Amino acid sequence: MKTPNRSMVSFGNVQKRYLLNFVSCFVLLVLVQVFMGNIHGTNYLVILTINCCISIILAVSLNLTTGCLGEMVLGHAAFMAIGAYASAILLKAVSMPALLGFFLGLILSFLMAGLIGFLVGIPALRLKGDYLAIITLGFGMIIKSLLEVLNFTGGAAGIDGIPRNTTVVLSVLMVMVVVAFLFTFMRSRFGRSILAIRENEIAAAATGVPVTQVKVLTFALSAALAGIAGALYAQYMRSISPATFHLDYSIEILVIVVLGGLGSFTGSILAATILVILPEFLRVFNDYRMIIYSVALIIIMLKKPGGILGRFEFSLSKLLIFIKTQFFRRKVKDHE
């Protein structure tokens, strides 16, 4: 029996695997377009799906810093806010066709959020553990308050009248892009360095990893990706205000990441989806919803502290291989 391949980058039949993944993504996109492409933007299902996509992007981007790098940061929502505002301001200032506007807004959001993330990261990541958490919390609060105070961001009222460029297909596409990016990024020397820092920072430095640099860049990347979620949000909701992006939202995202499993992107996707969809089913218990949620959270933390999926990552090819071997085993049994 072959020993499991636990290395980050594996050789062998990669072409086949990549093709498989690519095709399945493409098929999924086509399906989404066919079934949901023509539904009106305010349809309930559309709202749900786009919310899901935004949550997923927020969760996986936070997981990069919290799960993979191992640094707990609070205040992720602030970077989403920067992305949202960047897109909003651009699209209100310059009018352009939907698709162009969407992608330009996205790029600007990515860059702005990444830039601010970089600037925040440089001082913040000098601190460790709980001090890092509190300083990122502080930066998050400052950013939100600045958005409330400054004039060109519309103050507490925010900005409205943003064109609705986000569609379901574009949202799902962006989720795929972000997740694919994170998978390929982590399964490379960059991922190894990041995990090395998480495992043992001092050893990582002693092995030549430029620790502070990697930390700041990873943090900035997390922020930039959150910016993408912000761009999606702004161009869907049509109006944004600072009130959305406060500490509670950051904590919500953190909870999703921890529930899904720190370090598992698959877990984040699952947890984000569940936590967007489940409340809809529990609408019956609307009053008790939050109470049930908090009790469930406590129970899960007590019983499965590593999160639902721990560090597990899903692989489509591995799933197919698994199914194949099960099927093959049964066939052999029948013949005997």
Task: Enter the DSSP assignment of 40.
Answer: -
Instruction: Give CA separation, 62 vs 200, 205, 262, 265, in Å.
Output: 20, 24, 10, 10
Q: How far is the CB of 169 from another protein (least distance, A)?
A: 22
If you write DSSP's letter for every residue of 201-246 in order, what string do you get? HHHHHHTT--HHHHHHHHHHHHHHHHHHHHHHHHHHHSEE-GGGGS
Query: Could you give the CA distance from residue 178 to residue 295 in angstroms, rounded to a whole number?
Result: 32
Q: How far is the CB of 133 from another protein (least distance, A)?
A: 8
**278 contacts another protein (rule: CB under 8 A):** no
**294 contacts another protein (rule: CB under 8 A):** yes
Part in contact with another protein (CB under 8 A); list of ranges 104-112, 300-308, 316-324, 326-334 = 300-308
| Burial class of residue 87 (count of CB atoms within 10 Å of its CB; 0-12, 13-18, 19+) | buried
Q: How far is the CB of 307 from another protein (least distance, A)?
A: 9
Among 302, 331, 333, 336, binds another protein (CB under 8 A): 302
CB-CB contact of 141 with 127 (8 Å) = no
Residues 63, 67, 72, 78: what is their CA dihedral angle, to the nearest 10 degrees?
-10
What mask of x and - would describe binding to another protein in positions 88 to 117, judged by CB under 8 A?
------------------------------
Among 13, 14, 316, 320, binds another protein (CB under 8 A): 14
Among 22, 26, 35, 181, binds another protein (CB under 8 A): 181
**295 contacts another protein (rule: CB under 8 A):** yes
Pull the structure tokens for residue 282: 């529990």
Q: How far is the CB of 31 from another protein (least distance, A)?
A: 26
Among 291, 320, 321, 323, binds another protein (CB under 8 A): 291
Part in contact with another protein (CB under 8 A); list of ranges 94-102, 179-187, 226-234, 315-323 = 179-187
What residues contact residue 36 under an 8 Å CB cut-off, 6+ apart? 45, 46, 49, 168, 169
**326 contacts another protein (rule: CB under 8 A):** no
Query: Could you give the CA distance from residue 68 to residue 267 in angstroms, rounded to a whole number?
Result: 13
C-beta closer to another protein: residue 164 or 198? 198
Q: How far is the CB of 276 from another protein (least distance, A)?
A: 17
Query: Under rule CB under 8 A, which residues in 119-178 are in contact with another protein?
Result: 123, 126-127, 129-131, 133-135, 137-139, 141-142, 144-146, 148-149, 156
Q: How far is the CB of 38 from another protein (least distance, A)?
A: 33
Query: Under rule CB under 8 A, which residues in 196-225 are in contact with another protein?
Result: 196, 199-200, 202-211
Query: Could you give the CA distance from residue 213 to residue 35 in angstroms, rounded to a whole number?
Result: 45
Query: Under rule CB under 8 A, which residues in 232-271 are in contact with another protein?
Result: 247-248, 251, 254-255, 258, 262
Neighbours of 98 (CB within 10 A): 15
Pull the structure tokens for residue 102: 């969407």
